[in-house]
């Protein structure tokens, strides 16, 4: 496997910024006990990643009228379609919605099926609602990119609603193997992440990661 190029992978914590602080709090087992703070930190990472992604979107020149005259500016040519995987993706998605507040949204119910004896698993899809994505900018939002299988399966399912012009993947924590899997199977996309960890354990969980993002945000599921 060849490593992902800088043009296809943006890592927020590669440079010092307040983003490092938010990612560190997400990971911290002491801070994680405050469920509201966990959700808010995830939301703030979403806002930072949305801002970074906005620099890669098409803009057009525009004029606006102020109380004292006319100002020249740049405005988004089109709003993106924000897509998240339920339920864990909701806080990160909210951060994106805070920035792209006129965007359309899509929601996907995707999760790991039962683990086999070798700990492998299939991705099960139970729910999808989406506007047309034909010719639009698609941003797929999921807090954890471990193997990359759920992102690819979600994207393939979304294609019944059209072929997007651009595809961006946004995640709080990713694994090195997962990012490479996505880039290998979805050429032309760009991944935007808070941090990249080098290890997946035998159950395909990111190490050191942060734990189960859905449980930490909303409580353990049964």
Q: Given CA atoms 178, 182, 183, 188 in this order, what sign does their dihedral have?
A: negative
**pTM of the entire predicted model:** 0.89
Give me the CATH number covering residue 132: 3.40.50.2020
Residue by residue, DSSP assigns 153-206 as HHHHHHGGG---SEEEEEEEEEEHHHHHHHHHHSTT-EEEEEEEESEE-TTS-E
pLDDT in tens, the chain (222 residues): 334 445 799 999 999 999 999 999 999 999 999 999 999 999 999 999 999 999 999 999 999 999 999 999 999 999 999 999 988 999 999 999 999 999 999 999 876 555 555 545 566 667 889 999 999 999 999 999 999 988 998 999 999 999 999 999 999 999 999 999 999 999 999 999 999 999 999 888 999 999 999 999 999 877
Distances (CA, A) of 172 to 3, 121, 122, 194, 212: 20, 22, 22, 5, 12
Residue 216: inside a domain: no
Question: 36 lies in which domain range?
Answer: 9-60+73-206
What's the gap between Cα 172 and its chain centre?
A: 7
Q: What is the distance between the terminal CA atoms of the chain, rounded to a whole angstrom?
A: 38
Return the SS3 of 5. Answer: coil
Residue 175 domain-assigned? yes
For residue 19, being part of any structural domain is answered with yes
147 belongs to a structural domain: yes
| Both tokens assigned to 51 | 């801002």
> Is residue 192 included in any domain, yes or no?
yes
């Amino acid at each position: 496997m060849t490593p992902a190029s800088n043009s296809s992978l943006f890592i927020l914590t590669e440079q010092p910024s307040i983003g490092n602080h938010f990612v560190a709090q997400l990971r911290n087992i002491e801070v994680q006990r405050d469920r509201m703070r966990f959700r808010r930190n995830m939301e703030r990472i979403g806002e930072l990643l949305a801002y970074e992604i906005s620099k890669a979107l098409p803009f057009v020149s525009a004029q606006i009228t102020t109380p004292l005259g006319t100002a020249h500016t740049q405005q988004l040519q089109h709003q993106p379609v924000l897509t998240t995987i339920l339920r864990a993706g909701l806080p990160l998605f909210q951060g994106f919605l805070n920035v792209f507040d006129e965007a359309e949204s899509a929601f996907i119910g995707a999760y790991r099926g039962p683990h086999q004896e070798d700990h492998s698993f299939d991705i099960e899809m139970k729910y999808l609602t989406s506007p047309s994505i034909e010719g639009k900018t698609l941003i797929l939002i999921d807090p954890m990119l471990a193997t990359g299988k759920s992102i690819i399966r979600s994207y393939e399912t979304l294609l019944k609603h059209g072929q997007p012009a651009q595809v961006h993947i946004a995640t709080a924590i990713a694994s090195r193997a997962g990012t490479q899997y996505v880039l290998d199977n979805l050429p032309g996309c760009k991944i935007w992440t808070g941090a990249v960890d080098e290890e997946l354990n035998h159950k395909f969980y990111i190490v050191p990661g942060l734990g189960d993002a859905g449980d930490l945000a909303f409580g353990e599921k049964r």
